[in-house]
Chains A and B, each alone.
Chain A
Amino acid sequence: GAVVSQHPSWVICKSGTSVKIECRSLDFQATTMFWYRQFPKQSLMLMATSNEGSKATYEQGVEKDKFLINHASLTLSTLTVTSAHPEDSSFYICSVDRGGNRGTQYFGPGTRLLVL
């Protein structure tokens, strides 16, 4: 399977600051990456689809100005939580679509965000 990393693995920040989370595909080039959010004891919720070289596609109800996504290269997508608030505290997970075998996704280890 593919190897996907995320950085940082956890972050604590003050309310009002911005936090950047990186998702890297380490062993193949990914034109599509997905960003998910997971609240405690709930399932994953797709936030947006990150497309290399073009704008991300956001799911309904996800504010694109709040959650900035940049997919500048085939191995890196970033999610920036702008002006973070305590309600943004969550577990953020990325996945990469290897393509070819449609629907196969490989997940990163996740980033736990706590906004104080």
Chain B
Amino acid sequence: KNEVEQSPQNLTAQEGEFITINCSYSVGISALHWLQQHPGGGIVSLFMLSSGKKKHGRLIATINIQEKHSSLHITASHPRDSAVYICAVSRFNTDKLIFGTGTRLQVFP
């Protein structure tokens, strides 16, 4: 079983829809990251969370440490949001990241 699991693996949406991507992990962590990888391959760090909730524009990330679960929400989705969204965790006392397998999102106009 992977230490970091994401769902769904693939997601399609119509422009304007509210989107949720889930991440569950099974190890102790110091932080959880949400990353965005565009078709060209470049990766952008969206959020780093250790508790609670963060918001940036139309993106919201939440984490529940007790349940070892995080969600990434996209409000008013747009075709330019189409990308692979990756959840990754940092374990205690290490800078290494453990990655989920990613969620491939396609938003159609």
Interface residues on A, range: 20 to 34
Verify B101–A103 contact, CB threshold 8 A. no
Contacting B at CB under 8 A, from A80-109, are 91, 93, 95, 97, 101-107, 109
Interface residues on B, range: 20 to 34
Q: For residue A60, which residues in chain B have a CB less than 8 angstroms away from its CB?
A: none
Tell me whether A42 is interfacial, beta carbon within 8 Å.
yes
Tell me whether B83 is interfacial, beta carbon within 8 Å.
no
Verify B95–A102 contact, CB threshold 8 A. yes
- Nearest-neighbour CB distance to chain A for B47, whole angstroms, equals 11
Assuming the A-B contacts A34-B96, A42-B101, A43-B102, are A103 and B41 also in contact, with contact meaning beta carbons closer than 8 angstroms in the complex?
A: no
Assuming the A-B contacts A43-B101, A46-B96, are A102 and B43 also in contact, with contact meaning beta carbons closer than 8 angstroms in the complex?
A: no
Verify B30–A110 contact, CB threshold 8 A. no
What 4 pairs between A and B have smallest CB-CB spacing? A103-B90, A107-B43, A110-B41, A43-B99
Using CB atoms and an 8 Å cutoff, list the residues of chain B in contact with chain A. Answer: 30-31, 33, 35, 40-45, 48, 86, 90, 95-97, 99-102
